[in-house]
Structure 1
């Protein structure tokens, strides 16, 4: 779910001209990246995430 959010927020960020809207999408990207990193860390700690070899 976060990967779709990251893609959508990035596209919205790059298409925005107004500074306040860019700031909003920048913050959305930062929050989505935090959620993604935390979820991967949790999955790795539980052994539920398959790593590429």
Structure 2
């Protein structure tokens, strides 16, 4: 286990529980949101939980 792996796991967990990417950017000390967005490809749980407003009809 490396420090990078731990950081990546932490970020993935934050995304999975719905933490806004802007907050994660600040927590990790990234200057660019593009750097933080690298982690978004691994978290599909949040995407699956998004409810479409069309489902209410």
TM-score (norm: length of structure 1): 0.29
Structure possessing the higher radius of gyration over alpha carbons: 1
